Amino acid sequence: MCGIAGVVRRDRGAVGRELLERLLSKISMRGRDGAAGWMNHEQQVGLVHARHSVIDLPGGGQPMTAELDAKFGQLSVVFNGEIYNHRALRKELEGIGHKFTSDHSDTEVLLHGYREWGGKMMEKLEGMFAFGIWDQSNRSLFLARDRSGKKPLFYWRSDKGIVFGSTVSVVLAGMKSMSAMNVEVDGEAMLQYLRFGYTGGRSLVKGIEELEPGCWALAGNDGQLWSERYWEWPGVTGMVRVADKYDDDTAELIARSHLTLKQAVAKRLEADVSLGCFLSSGIDSSVVAALAQEAMYERGLGKLKTFCVEMPEKSYDESRASKIIAKHLGTEHVTLRTPVGDAFSDLEYLMNSCGEPTADSSILPTYWLCKAAREHVKVALSGDGGDELFCGYDRYQALRMMGKHGWWLKGMPSGMFKGTDAKNRRVRMGRLVDAAKAKGGVGQKYRRMVEIFDDELIGEVGGQKAKDALLAEDGFVMDGWAEIEAGMKLGGGNGDVMNTAMRWDFSHYLVNDILRKVDRASMGVPLEVRCPILDQDVCELAMRMKGKKLMVDGMQKGVLRRIAGMYLPKDLTQREKMGFAVPIGRWFQWELRDELRDRLLDGNLEAMGFEMEAVRRLMNEHQVGEKDHTHRLFGLLQLSIWWKWLNG
């Protein structure tokens, strides 16, 4: 895991040491084992890399350059991530005449693979990655990102050239070196952020975009950029679920899932440095930890180190159950206490390192967990992806519930469900009632479940610019729902509603919220986090199952619960999902009340055009317990911190 960046100029501007050092300074926190740059003055190109070394410590330095064929000249690469099948690919390439200089560097495999297969190489790669390859022979830049979007890759381009990198902050630095234009806020991205807490496919800085997961792009010598998708959600025609043979036999479904997950975990145990695993009381991390410990025992590697965060509030604390699970699995367990007082300074540090906000407050415990784990290991496994692939969120069941009991839910008064604790069943029920009352079909109701600000609130809080953007948008449709809304009724009974919700979450929420949050938090330490459940084979297996089959025994994540039951007693596998969070809503009422008010009223939101009376109303309603505005207030707090960073 590393930080990468690169710049290619098409104008007369030079790419020199000063620029490369500036780019390196923006990604230095992502890799502290080495920092280096490479440039070609004649071709006006430069690449930089901050290394967090994990594989082939002496032979995997970057930027890596090789002349593999005298006819075609040099290739140079900067690469962030891991290629889990690099040994098999190396063997295949050696079989057709390629000669390697490193012992087992996966970075060198990318160079040889690209020279041999070009863009077709992407279909062969298994791993998490974002990389850029400069081809000297035709002055082209090849960019690529992994299938699930585990590793970020941003870019900016104009007639002056192109800049790419791991973070918005490094791309912005390169952009400023090329262009004297004023930095503008992207209005459409701001709407997306207010609605869902993330921007998705672009950044709040106008002109800085993100390469989509499962895609590669080529910037040619003519300055044009074109991209191609090499992977997408399988087993789907349009948006309609295609039947699969694993839908019918539950025992076979569980056995195949177990085997595929075992193989996925085994792939991710390779490292030339220390490795551990996050372990909450949840099913996802329990399954990953169980399979990892089993594999380590089989390899004679001893105990797996596992890590958990202890929360001060009982309803949020998973540490006790985590310790019990660790004892059953036989891992070496470490528990960290929550440093509540550091919340604001930690948010500022993370903003400085990445340059973009997130409205997901669980970035705080994720960062604290990564900091604790980094004192013991350089690599950690996680259970991310289990909810989106194996039907883990309450809202999936809620969609089915609306189909059966929508009339009843619509008749319930929303005022019955006041509160500010997201863990409270009454608060969660209130959100379901609000969603059931939403006008429109399944897409609009699901949108109500996942959005933070609805359009009415955006107009009230966001000011005139937000109102203008809403009018210009001419109505909002959630990507991927149009065909479903046209082709079926809510609660149709064939699982398509749940599968469509999971697909939307996988393509949007997982990529732009969960994985982005984990990357920011972990690489701010830095710590490499690997996600076995997001293995390509696991994804494609789960994606072909009908939602109702994933709910074995009628429970969310029923398949994973059955697998967990092979290693743990039933009382530990049937627990209700807690989620990894902090009681930020209560903190905003008490411990962090005054500082929150100071931050939201410090002038940054006002400078962005927000209506401050509406912001004050949200704070007051939340702090007296009238309404739960936790998610909205945290999102606004992050915007205030971001604006300060942008203009700092």
| Residue positions annotated with a catalytic role | 2
Angle between helices 425-437 and 394-410 (to 10 degrees): 60
| CA separation for the pair 45, 65 (Å, rounded) | 13
Q: Say whether 603 sits in a helix, a strand or coil.
A: coil
Q: Is 382 assigned to a binding site?
A: yes
Closest residue by Cα to residue 198 from 627, 635, 578, 637: 635
What does the radius of gyration of the chain's CA atoms come to, in whole angstroms? 24
**Range 256-271 burial, b when 16+ CB lie within 10 A, else e:** bbbebbbebbbbbbbe
Amino acid at 78: V
φ, ψ of residue 226 in degrees (nearest 5): -130, 150
Chain-centre distance of CA 484, in angstroms? 26
Question: And the tokens for 233?
Answer: 């959600």
Q: Where are the beta strands (DSSP E) in 28-160?
A: 34-40, 45-51, 64-69, 73-83, 127-135, 140-145, 154-158
Residue ranges in 119-247 assigned as alpha helix (H)? 168-178, 187-196
Q: How many helices (H) and strands (E) does the chain have?
A: 27, 19
Q: Is 552 assigned to a binding site?
A: no
Q: What is the DSSP letter of 627?
A: S
- The string of DSSP codes covering 324-336 is HHHHHHT-EEEEE
Residue ranges in 474-601 assigned as alpha helix (H)? 482-487, 496-504, 516-523, 536-543, 547-550, 558-564, 570-573, 584-589, 593-600
Half-sphere exposure of 510 (CA within 13 A, CB side): 28
Cis peptide before 63 (omega within 30 of 0): yes
Question: And the tokens for 477?
Answer: 């449709």
Q: What is the DSSP letter of 171?
A: H
8 Å CB contact between 514 and 450: no
Q: Is 222 assigned to a binding site?
A: no
Amino acid at 501: A
Residue 42, number of CB atoms within 10 A of its CB: 7
Question: And the tokens for 258?
Answer: 């177990």
Q: Say whether 32 sits in a helix, a strand or coil.
A: coil
| CA separation for the pair 563, 392 (Å, rounded) | 15
In degrees, rounded to 5, the angle at the alpha carbon of residue 526 between the alpha carbons of residues 524 and 531 is 100
Q: Say whether 53 sits in a helix, a strand or coil.
A: coil
Chain-centre distance of CA 234, in angstroms? 20
Q: Which residues pair with 50 in a beta bridge?
A: 3, 35
| CA separation for the pair 31, 524 (Å, rounded) | 9
Q: Is 529 assigned to a binding site?
A: no
Binding site for L-glutamine: what residues are annotated?
106
What residues form the annotated binding site?
A: 106, 309, 382-383
Annotated binding site for ATP: 309, 382-383
